[in-house]
Structure 1
Amino acid sequence: MERQLIFNTNAPNKSTRIILGECSGILNWDDIRMPHMYKLYKVLLLNHWIADEIPMSKDAQQFQLLDDEERRTFKINIGLLAVLDSMQTMFVGDVKQYFTDSSLEAVAAIIGQQEVVHNQSYSYVLSSLVSLEEQKEIFEYWKHDEVLLERNRFIADVYQNFRDNPTPQTFFETLVADLILEGIFFYSTFAFFYNLARDQKMMATSQMISYIQRDENHHCFFFAEVFKQLLVDFPELNTKENMDFLYKMIDRAVELETNWAHYTLHSVKGIDLKELGDYIKYIANRRLVMLGMEKAYEGVDVNCMPWIKPFSDDALNSTKTDFFEAKSRNYGKVGEDNGFDEL
């Protein structure tokens, strides 16, 4: 695969294909191949948030009052999130290089910046709760835990293959891996933090998690749209082998995420692991539908953990709330004119 020329007077402003196409390099938002990308661009801008503006003093007090299992699980899962979003920052940078569509490159630039914000938020949370030495230990944890390494390598190997050998085929495969990482691999961890929040514990941390979930939903939408357009531009990729690859990857991802939930949450009060397993399948089905594919799992069409919704709904995520002053400060409200359904 070749990168788009920075300045090409022989190409149209509107790209001819999302990769390996022609594009002048000049971005006119009123003349783009996928017009809804402008809508997404505006939504992503309104999603802007800064971790340091969320006060952590009450969380710092509560952290010492959590039971040993809650504190252990909290640290393990913050460490996991740091690994995932570190990989995502590199992944978005890699993919962005090969878009031959200036609007997609622009949206990817914002997504990459948001991944950096997510990663910084984990450092901010830990710096408010534990010593620098313990923070360093938590950020090293992923290198030594075999269960964590297995799920991380599952994605990292696909990402690395694309970095080493960028082709339309490896581009297809890395988009599948991205939808798994952003759309499935966060969700048992999100459930843990929301479980604390429903007991009024670690509310500032859970608020940041809700912003991260909102961002990741929009990132999933973007890469799902890229995936669908890729199959239009390269119909030769729409093969039985590739569809089998997609479903096998999703099924393995559900298995790995469920294993992670049992490994880290088995002693956490308030979480039913059977329900969480069904919830992960429910999320996986939603990702498949987002890709334009058939669902893989039966009997999970309804969210079996409805207590999560108040913490993750757009109604909460569209507003930045100060828990201590009990007032809201809108960065930007997602509504009918600038939102996306089915996120």
Structure 2
Amino acid sequence: MSATAPTTATPLERIRILEPRHPNRSTGIINGRTSGILNWNDIPYPSFYRAYKELSTNFWIPDEVDMKADAREYGDLSAREKNAYDSIIGLLATLDSPQTRFIYNVAEYITDPAAHANAAIIGQQEVIHNESYSYVLSSITDLENQKRIFEIARTHPTILKRNAPIMTSYDDFMREKTAETLLRALIQSSILEGINFYSGFAYFYNLVRQNRMAGTGKVISFINRDELAHTKFISEVIRAIVGEHPALQSDELAEYVHRAFEHAVELEVQWTGEVLDGIDGINVDEMIRYVQYRANKMAGMLGIESLYPDATENVMPWIRAYADNFTETKTDFFEMRNASYKKTNVDNGFDDL
């Protein structure tokens, strides 16, 4: 099916808490009808139950991770390593902090009760992620240094620049509740979850493989596992929306997706060169190709062709953030329908860490 440009925006209806006159089984992912009563055995998208089981079994508590060794080793980091550690913690805080508010606002305009239930879990997990950064820092340094690191999150020009496209899409959705702004915001959210964390994750995993900061690495691995589940579910919601609403399958949206991915990789490359250059064990050129590889994987989750043909292999196999047994998707972004979307009931190829 050829894509066409939309002529008008598609307003979203806010859900009602309970509407007994409507059927229990949702009639649509957005702007549908449902009572609000959730029967997991009778939902339009069975993969949402798979997502629920995966999300709900990922429960963890930050302060169960022993940070005593990290407290000793933090002081032994070189100045460059400590700058990377502090800056990346600040970056991750700016990525996770807004997610809870965003996800809960999205949930108010998603008709399907199963999707709403999963959004509630994701929002709660983002709160835990944010707590974990505070816990990690309180375990290794004093309050004044903790405040300084969180000030990095708020003021660092590169962090602000790389977060700007995501936050702009979130703000657009908050101002104007339409299917178009929702899709753009969800696409940016998938970029946040599936691309923007990964150079930071890699830095901490690199420390762990050098037998340093193992407690921090364990916390990061828990966050990473959660983000993989979030990414899968968000991509499923996106595919459900475009599958149910052919009018949204436009050239304009396709261009937006490609531009968003390319811009995210460009900013991630800039951040990598600024923060990780000169770190022992990190090759910046490899990291750039790895980020491009992540972008290809994320594009595949949405049924988009690879954006970086030269980044077909993981050049940093020591990062066990995903599995290479991914089932490649060749479907065009604008040819997805409910039938193909429901195939996501089969695991999409991401493994737990």
Q: TM-score, normalised by structure 2?
A: 0.88
**Residue in structure 2 matched with residue 214 of structure 1 by the alignment:** 225
Counterpart CA distance in 1 for 2:297 and 2:172 is 27
Aligned positions of 1:26-41 closer than 5 A: 26-41=37-52
2:161 corresponds, among 150, 167, 171, to: 150
Structure 1 segments unaligned to the other structure (5+ residues): 315-337
TM-aligned CA deviation for residue 144 of structure 1: 2.2
Aligned positions of 1:1-343 closer than 5 A: 1-309=12-320, 312=321, 340-343=347-350
TM-aligned CA deviation for residue 340 of structure 1: 3.0
Q: Give yes or no for contact 1:43–1:339 (8 Å, CA) kept in 2.
A: no
After superposition, give the CA deviation of every residue in 1:223-248 in whole Å (9 maximum; x if it has no partner).
Answer: 10000000112111111111011000
Q: Specify the code of the residue in structure 1 equivalent to 2:67.
A: M
After superposition, give the CA deviation of every residue in 1:209-233 in whole Å (9 maximum; x if it has no partner).
Answer: 1111111011000010000000112
SS at match of 1:306: coil
Rate the CA distance shift 1:245–1:313 in 2: closer, same or farther, 3 A. closer
Q: Specify the code of the residue in structure 1 equivalent to 2:48.
A: M
Counterpart CA distance in 2 for 1:3 and 1:44 is 25
After superposition, give the CA deviation of every residue in 1:55-109 in whole Å (9 maximum; x if it has no partner).
Answer: 1001101111111111111011001101100011111111111111110000110
Rate the CA distance shift 1:313–1:234 in 2: closer, same or farther, 3 A. closer
SS at match of 1:307: coil
Q: Give yes or no for contact 2:47–2:346 (8 Å, CA) kept in 1.
A: no
TM-aligned CA deviation for residue 208 of structure 1: 0.9
The size of the alignment, in residue pairs, is: 318
TM-aligned CA deviation for residue 260 of structure 1: 0.5
Q: Give yes or no for contact 2:93–2:153 (8 Å, CA) kept in 1.
A: no
Counterpart CA distance in 1 for 2:154 and 2:230 is 27
Please say which of residues 1-10 and 274-283 is displaced more in the overlay. Answer: 1-10
Moved >6 Å (runs of 4+):
none
TM-aligned CA deviation for residue 146 of structure 1: 1.3
Counterpart CA distance in 2 for 1:199 and 1:24 is 54
After superposition, give the CA deviation of every residue in 1:31-62 in whole Å (9 maximum; x if it has no partner).
Answer: 11111211211111111111100010011011
Counterpart CA distance in 1 for 2:291 and 2:72 is 32
SS at match of 2:319: helix
Q: TM-score, normalised by structure 1?
A: 0.90
